[in-house]
Amino acid sequence: MAPQRTHSLLLLLLLTLLGLGLVQPSYGQDHMYQRFLRQHVDPDVSTGSDGYCNLMMQRRKMTLHQCKRFNTFIHESIWNIRSICSTANILCKNGKMNCHEGVMKVTDCKETGNSKAPNCRYRAKASTRRVVIACEGNPEVPVHFDR
């Protein structure tokens, strides 16, 4: 009787965590969410410089084999970013209707065009602007920076 009760309690705990959104149900979705975090989220900084872009693009492994031409870092808490997913759906660049928009503090890093991996060089542009993010899952989490 004890193993059945333990099993029932574990199942109840898992369902509770799923309901609260603390456990992601899909490996694919979780992988995309983790990639989004690595490539686009830096809440510890309020604005970025050229040196910031050069360092972060390398640290976040976006310069290993070739220089990523453009990347945006969002300087907000993950909870503020995730809240965008609860806004109205809008059309993404790829034609899907799973994008959402909000205003965030960001640093856009643009490759200078004359550097070679892994020593890529970037120009930074810090601003507060409208961003568009694709969200998926239940609960919805950001999985792609659209624009």
Q: Could you confirm whether 144 is annotated as catalytic?
A: yes
Which of 40, 65, 75, 100 is catalytic? The answer is: 40
Instruction: Starting at the earlier edge strand, list the strands of the sheet with 122-136.
Output: 70-74, 99-111, 122-136, 141-145
User: Bridge partners of 103?
Assistant: 130
The tokens of 112 are what? 């200078």
Query: Which residues are registered as beta bridge partners of 142?
Result: 135
DSSP 8-state class, residue 139 = T
Does the N-terminal peptide bond of residue 142 adopt cis geometry, omega within 30 degrees of 0? no
Give the active site residue among 65, 75, 100, 144: 144
Query: What's the one-letter identity of residue 133?
Result: I
Number of Cβ atoms within 10 Å of the Cβ of 61: 12
The yes-or-no answer on residue 40 being catalytic is yes
The tokens for 94 are: 């790829």
Q: Which residues are catalytic?
A: 40, 144
